[in-house]
Chains A and B, each alone.
Chain A
Amino acid sequence: MLNRRTLIAASGAAALAGPALAQNFPRKAIQMIVAFPAGGSTDIGARIVAAAAEKEFGQPVVVVNKAGAGGQLGFTEAARARPDGYTLAFLNLPGLNTIILDPERKAVFGIDSFVPVINQVLDPGLVWVKADSPYKTFADLIEAAKKNPGKISACTTGILSDDHLAILMTHEAAKVEFRIVHFDGGAQQLTGVMGGHVDVAFDNVGGVFKRVRSGEVRGLAVLDTERSKFLPDVPTAKEAGYPTIVSSSTRGIGVQKGTPPDVIKALQAGLQKAMQNPDHVQKLEEAGLGFKPMVGEEYAKYYADLHKQAAKYTEWALKMR
């Protein structure tokens, strides 16, 4: 439970762990590089945690937006920063993965350039259609896609985004073929589907859950192993018979390779506490961002596993070019 007692106990535990932590960290402001524009859902989550972290660390935690090239600019900058723990990188998966895996992007960073510290958000994929669409369930959609290979259009929020990979996963699992249309961000995707130009959208829960709730759009499937607490009425792809279609956009914090381990520990402890802050949790909920803190080993394993999964689908996508 997130009440005072737990917080006091937690900080007590952290204090006991004192000698293992860098005594003088942080001594000045910490920068958090967000590779996406201000106002987007990544940025919103980052700012919420930055505000909470400031209280924990007693030093300013400043969000720096370095948007561009689908995140590559920000990741490049973060990877090149000094590994002293004062420049945090907000890691978007699988965005980071696909950039690394696309040879034409010539990324100067690799999967080892970052040490994952703690994850914040796991925003599962969501397949949705217009409210008056003929497809009432995910099964309807798949059936129609089987009957009309290559004719039903499905859109993403960007080339090689998690939406794109999710569509390919669907191709594989359900043995169908959609006509893939790429938009530039959620706003364009919304107008594209609402205006009737594209049949179905592969998106994420966070961006659109309020509209599903209000009935403006219809959610067909959540691409996670369990239903989203924000959309309890929308079944998962697993329930529809496709347990392998699991896709999400995960965002967490990492540091550069070579950062001293005690600094990493201090960051982990501080950020973890910051994330447990009830204000932080509540603000994330309001924004529809699924809170899934993963620390240390768990996050590192997730990070590595996701890269393997992304590799497979990215290769497909690249072949289709």
Chain B
Amino acid sequence: MDAFQHLMAGLGAAMSPGNLMFAFAGCMLGTLIGLLPGLGPAAGTAILIPLTFSLDATGAIIMLCAIYYGAMYGGTITSVLINVPGEAASVITCIDGYAMARQGRAGSALAIAAIGSFVGGTIATLALVVVAIPLAQLALKFGPAEFFGLMVAGLCLVIGLAGKNLMAALLMTVLGLLLAMIGLDPVRGAPRFTFGFPELYDGVGFVPVVMGLFGIGELLLAAERREARMIEADLKKWNPTREEWRASAGAIGRGTVVGFVLGLIPGVGSIVPTFMAYVLEKRMSKTPERFGNGAIEGVASAETANNAYANAAMVPLLALGVPSSPTIAVLMGAFIVNGITPGPFLFTERPELVWTVIASFFVGNAILLVLNLPLVGLWAKLLKIPFSYMCAGVLIFCVIGAYGLKQSLFDVWIMLGFGILGYLLRKLDLPLAPAILALILGPMMERSLRTTLEISAGSFAIFLDRPLALALLAVPVIVLGFMLLKPRAFAPVRQADAE
């Protein structure tokens, strides 16, 4: 196979001492910066871009991709240890990963996250090698109408996240959707619900919201619990137990598939595949009630899907020059500044470069695993720092993270406000994940519907012409309606497992 030969050549180049060093440095730096609460992969990658200016093109790209993976894993570390998500998709890791940490199983959570990410990333890259260009072209068929369908289907995933009370989850979804409507509307580009605050023209900004709801909310809860440390339970050994392995294996497999397939579609974003893999895992489990309380399969599926997605998203980037998410857009900008414009001609003009980069994905994934597994025990020990110092430290970085995005103190206020809200909602046992899902998907849904209608000049018949879009739309709505009709949806909440 021609591609295979290219890949071998690329691997050789990628493993040259210089490039290996860049990959290593990138992983290290990326993890360190992703570790700082509030910075997240997008900001972290953007911040480290200038480091690559002095390198040659190949080295720069290798380092940038390594930084990207590293930052994603750094975000996973903060999600598990302190419930601060690095990006929206990490919210799922927060839910089960942090619960595991509170039980003393932070080590297992981090280890499974690293391993799952490695497996997902490697398989996705292998698949990428085989299918890159043809699949990319096929993925182009996915237009605004199909995108709308996917967003609606994604929103209906909320059923899977519902937990005890479906109505509460739906209410939170509505809340998230309403929040998502703040900003310039996609129809006229005029402000909506902004009450005179130009800072809101771009929406509430999900980074401050998510940091507030999860990170600060958790700090407040921990403060109330009057503990001396964030996590009181004894730390168990970091390697996962036999049962944990077995449970995770299936999750990793399924997560890889979901993440990879969705990663090929340009513009989907990491939240849909992550949530989808999680919900799928929950549905398939014989004990779904464990999810949300420290089910290792939850962490495994989410992290694997996330990384498989991230690697697969390189396909639209490299093959078409289309970035699938803000973080990848930052990466693409960095490529361009370094003189490399991603696109199909890149494969023909500079194949050695492209294949070296692809080969370095393998290397990067491997390095990340090798680097982080031994450190997992160390990260987990961080939890033993006294609460007051931990709290102050986390808050410092959250403030920097919220402020640093747009140099706006307004965002810091938003973070604080949502922190208080997150605390109150958690006290009431109201689920936060549906609101986050809605906050991200809402605008994309509205925008894609608008674009679809612009293309069809207002005719909804366009959906009839596009069976995939129709299918995506119909199925979840039917399922949701069916579930709503069941009497259990309206059951009052019993505070069964009180904190």
- Distance of A3 Cα from B62 Cα, bound (Å): 35
Asked if B447 and A184 make an inter-chain contact with CB atoms under 8 angstroms apart, the answer reads yes
Q: Which listed residue (B316, B334, B345, B348) contacts A39, Cβ 8 A?
A: B334
Q: Is B141 an interface residue (CB 8 A)?
A: yes
Given the known interface contacts A73-B202, A108-B198, the answer about A192 and B330 at a Cβ–Cβ threshold of 8 Å is no
Q: A residues within 8 A CB of B160? A: none
* B334 contact set on A, CB distance < 8 A: 39
Interface flags for B278-289 (1: CB within 8 Å of A; 0: not) read: 000000000000
A192 and B336 contact, CB distance less than 8 A: no
A187 to B333, CA, bound (A): 12
* Cα–Cα distance between A105 and B198 once the two chains are bound (Å): 9
Residues of B within 8 A of A69 (CB): 183-184, 198, 201-202
Q: Bound complex: CA of A44 vs CA of B408, how far in Å?
A: 22
If A187-B323, A191-B140 touch, whether A216 touches B454 (CB-CB below 8 Å) is no
Q: Are A47 and B343 within 8 A (Cβ)?
A: no
B142 at interface (Cβ–Cβ under 8 A)? yes
B250 within 8 A of A: no
Q: Does B163 contact A (CB under 8 A)?
A: no
Contact of B345 among A102, A181, A214 (CB under 8 A): A214
User: In the complex, how many angstroms separate the beta carbon of A167 from the nearest chain B beta carbon?
Assistant: 12
Assess the B333–A197 pair: CB atoms within 8 A: no
- In the complex, A104 has a CB within 8 A of chain B: yes
CB distance from A317 to the nearest CB of B (A): 10
Query: Which residues of B lie under 8 Å from residue A44 when comparing CB positions?
Result: 333, 336-337
How many angstroms between the C-alpha atoms of A37 and B202 in the bound complex? 12
Interface centre among A39, A106, A158, A182 (most CB of B within 10 A): A39
Measured in the bound complex, the distance between the Cα atoms of B447 and A211 in whole Å is 27
A276 within 8 Å of B (CB atoms): no
- Closest residue of chain A to B345 (Cβ to Cβ) is A214
Pick from B142, B321, B333: contact of A38, CB below 8 A: B333
> Is A70 an interface residue when CB atoms closer than 8 A count as contact?
yes
Docked Cα-Cα span, A70 to B185, in Å, equals: 12
Interfacial chain A residues near B201, Cβ < 8 Å: 68-69, 72-73
A210 to B333, CA, bound (A): 15
Partner of B143, one of A47, A105, A180, A197: A197
Shortest CB–CB separation between residue A156 and chain B, in angstroms? 10
Determine whether the beta carbon of A68 is less than 8 Å from that of B406.
yes
Among A104, A182, A216, contact of B344 (Cβ-Cβ < 8 Å): A216
Q: What is the bound-complex CA distance between A188 and B316, given in angstroms?
A: 12
**Contact call B191/A210, Cβ cutoff below 8 A:** no
- Asked if B188 is at the interface (CB within 8 A of a chain A CB), the reply is yes
Within 8 A of A (CB), among B315-353: 316, 320-323, 326, 329-334, 336-337, 339, 341, 343-345, 348-349
Whether A214 lies near B344 (C-beta < 8 A) is yes
Per-residue 0/1 for B411-446: is the Cβ within 8 Å of any A Cβ (1 yes, 0 no)? 000000000000000000000000000000000000
B window 162-192: CB within 8 A of A: 183-184, 188-191
Whether B454 lies near A68 (C-beta < 8 A) is no
Nearest-CB residue, chain B, relative to A179: B457
Cα distance A286–B46 when bound, in Å? 21
A183 to B190, CA, bound (A): 16
Q: Mark B128-165, 1 if CB is under 8 A from A, else 0.
A: 00000000000011111000000000000000000000
Which residues of B have CB within 8 Å of A38?
A: 46, 49, 330, 333
Q: Does B455 contact A (CB under 8 A)?
A: yes
A159 at the interface (CB under 8 A from B): yes
Task: Report the minimal beta-carbon distance from A11 to chain B, rounded to whole angstroms.
Answer: 26
B322 close to A191 (CB less than 8 A) = yes
Closest chain-A Cβ to B444's Cβ sits at a distance in Å of 9
Partner of B191, one of A106, A108, A192: A106
Q: Is A153 an interface residue (CB 8 A)?
A: yes
Residue of B nearest to A286 (CB): B339
A291 to B112, CA, bound (A): 51
Contact B455 A194 (CB under 8 A): no
Per a CB cutoff under 8 Å, which of A70, A192, A214 touches B184? A70
The answer to whether the Cβ of A287 comes within 8 Å of any Cβ in the partner chain is: yes
> Known contacts A159-B189, A191-B320; is A197 also within 8 Å of B336 by CB?
no
Interface of B is mostly: helix
| C-alpha spacing A148/B49, complex, angstroms | 48
Which A residues are in CB contact (< 8 Å) with B321? 187, 190, 211
Tally of B interface residues using CB under 8 Å: 50
Could you tell me if B407 and A66 are in contact, using CB atoms closer than 8 angstroms? yes
Question: Within 8 Å CB of B450, what residues of A?
Answer: 182
Contacts of B457 in A (CB 8 A): 150, 179
Q: Are B454 and A179 in contact (CB under 8 A)?
A: yes
Interface residues of B in 442-470 (CB under 8 A from A): 447, 450-451, 454-455, 457
- Residues on B with C-beta less than 8 A from A150 are 457
Chain A residue at minimal CB-CB distance from B341: A210
Q: Are B267 and A187 interface neighbours, CB within 8 A?
A: yes
Chain A neighbourhood of B320, CB < 8 A: 190-191, 194
* C-alpha spacing A234/B191, complex, angstroms: 39
Contact of A73 among B341, B349, B406 (CB under 8 A): B406
- For A76, the chain B residues whose CB sits under 8 A away are 198
Counting CB contacts under 8 A, is B199 at the interface?
A: yes
Residue of A nearest to B184 (CB): A69
Within 8 A of B (CB), among A283-321: 286-287, 321
Q: Are A214 and B267 in contact, with the CB atoms below 8 A?
A: no
| Interchain CB contact under 8 A, A181 and B455 | yes
B332 touches A39 (CB 8 A): yes
Say yes or no: is B38 at the interface (Cβ < 8 Å to chain A). Answer: no
Complex-state Cα separation, A43 to B188, whole angstroms: 26
Alpha-carbon gap, A194 to B337, bound state (A): 24
CB-nearest residue of chain B relative to A74? Answer: B406
Tell me, yes or no, whether B30 is within 8 Å of chain A by CB: no
Known contacts A181-B451, A197-B455; A160 and B336 CB within 8 A of each other:
no
Structural contact, A188 and B190, CB atoms closer than 8 A: no
CB of A40 closer than 8 Å to a CB of B? yes
A35 to chain B, nearest CB (A): 11
Q: When the two chains form the complex, which single residue of A108, A153, A159 contacts B188, counting CB atoms closer than 8 Å?
A: A159
**B97 at the binding interface (Cβ < 8 Å):** no
B298 proximity list for chain A (CB < 8 A): none
Q: Is the CB of A183 within 8 A of B189?
A: no
Q: Does B116 contact A (CB under 8 A)?
A: no
Q: Is the CB of A73 within 8 A of B199?
A: yes
Q: Which residues of A contact B332 (CB under 8 A)?
A: 39
B266 interface hit (Cβ, 8 Å): yes
Contact in complex: A191, B267 (CB < 8 Å): yes
CB-CB under 8 A from B183, the residues of chain A are 69
A19 within 8 A of B: no
Q: A64 on the interface (CB 8 Å rule)?
A: yes
Which chain A positions have C-beta within 8 A of B199? 73
A40 to chain B, nearest CB (A): 7
User: Which residue of A181, A187, A192 contacts B329 across the interface (Cβ within 8 Å)?
Assistant: A187
A245 to chain B, nearest CB (A): 22
Give the distance to chain A from B54, nearest Cβ to Cβ, in Å: 12
A287-B143 Cα distance, complex, nearest whole Å? 28
- Give 9 nearest A-B pairs by CB, closest first: A39-B333, A69-B201, A68-B202, A195-B140, A214-B345, A104-B190, A159-B189, A197-B143, A181-B454
Q: Knowing that A192-B144, A214-B348 touch, tell me 13 more A-B residue pairs with CB under 8 angstroms.
A: A39-B337, A43-B333, A66-B408, A69-B201, A73-B202, A73-B406, A104-B188, A179-B454, A181-B451, A190-B322, A191-B266, A216-B344, A321-B188
Q: List 5 A–B pairs whose Cβ atoms lie within 8 Å, in order of A's numbering.
A: A39-B46, A65-B406, A190-B321, A194-B140, A214-B349
